[in-house]
Amino acid sequence: MSRIAFIGLGNMGGPMAANLVKAGHEVRVFDLVQAALDAAVAAGATAAPSAREAVTGAEVVISMLPASRHVEGLYLGDDGILPHIADGALVIDSSTIAPASARKVAEAAKARGLATIDAPVSGGVAGAQAGTLTFIVGGEAEALERARPVLEAMGRNIFHVGASGAGQVAKLCNNMALGVIMAATGEAIALGVANGLDAKVLSDMMAVSTGRSWATEVCNPWPGVIDTAPAARGYAGGFGNDLMLKDLGLAVEAAMQSNSPVPLGELARNLYAMNSKAGNGRLDFSSVVRLVAPVQDQ
């Protein structure tokens, strides 16, 4: 069992840290939000007063933060933790960030003699809670083998997709598809409802037909279709609209760098930006359906 520092205890990091505790690891945690720290302590972790103190003496450091600037700030900022991580420790960043940021952190960590992987995840909050996440890993194979027992306490599938930063590229490809599919699914159900169909009957049909996806089966954007979906609780929790917006921005940026056409990705980025401007930025990204239907009244 390992001594693990876990930084960032939000919708995803909180349950991931709890699963590490359940697997018998000694977990020291830090988050800027006291309520997030309290929840982790209730799950059996030990709270540290700062990120620096959380990582002191840790064999493995895991971060699960919103975006590139938070991750670069945590490791490389003026008061960054990189100099305080024990020699020989393993660093795992599971946040979804720009591939260039992941490479920057990995290079700085390597210069300090630390092994690093970028290991963004897929599977949502439900996957984080159930310990069934998919880890999408970039970095050296040797570092992944060291990380594997720790990742297995939080996830079910582990894919090694390439060198540092490659995990982030693959994650952005997945989320670009997801963002497009969610917007398209909401639009299709809204069309059906506007033409007199029942949203649940339509969704049940689509879920066993060629229009099926995670959006029809697990995170259906229409309220009243799936009890456990964010749509059933006013779009609270889940995967924030503004996090999807961030990921689509990173995907479009990667597309520009590689001269790749991503017409649907660009359109989806605009849809989630519009949803954010409409005041839904902190809600689950499936609230994008509100752009085409007044579902909040249901």
The residue ranges that bind ligand NAD (CB under 6 A) are 7-13, 30-33, 36, 51, 64-66, 70, 73-74, 95-96, 121-122, 124-125, 238-240, 243
CB of 285 to ligand NAD, least distance (A): 9
CB of 229 to ligand NAD, least distance (A): 12
CA dihedral 61, 64, 66, 71 (to 10 degrees): 10
- Token pair 């795992």: residue: 92
What is the SS3 assignment for 116? Answer: strand
Closer residue to ligand NAD, CB minimum distance, 73 or 224: 73
Judge contact between 63 and 95, C-beta under 8 A: yes
Rounded Cα gap, residues 25 and 107, in angstroms: 28
Closer residue to ligand NAD, CB minimum distance, 59 or 118: 118
Closer residue to ligand NAD, CB minimum distance, 47 or 274: 47
Residue 175 phi, psi dihedral angles, 5° rounding: -75, -25
| Position closest to ligand NAD via CB | 10
Rounded Cα gap, residues 122 and 28, in angstroms: 24
Question: Per the residue annotation, which of 171, 200, 246, 277 is the catalytic one?
Answer: 171
Closer residue to ligand NAD, CB minimum distance, 70 or 192: 70
Rounded Cα gap, residues 67 and 248, in angstroms: 12
CB of 198 to ligand NAD, least distance (A): 28
- Token pair 């085409």: residue: 292
Rounded Cα gap, residues 248 and 238, in angstroms: 17
Alpha-carbon Rg for the chain in angstroms? 19
Distances (CA, A) of 57 to 2, 37, 66, 88, 90: 11, 20, 25, 11, 12
The helix-helix angle for 166-194 and 241-257 (nearest 10°) equals: 120
Residue 59 phi, psi dihedral angles, 5° rounding: -85, -30
Distance from the Cα of residue 30 to its chain's centroid: 18
CB of 191 to ligand NAD, least distance (A): 26
CB of 128 to ligand NAD, least distance (A): 7
Count of positions (residues) in the chain? 298
CB of 27 to ligand NAD, least distance (A): 15
Based on the residue annotation, tell me whether 171 is a catalytic residue of this protein. yes
Closer residue to ligand NAD, CB minimum distance, 176 or 202: 176
Active site (catalytic) residues: 171
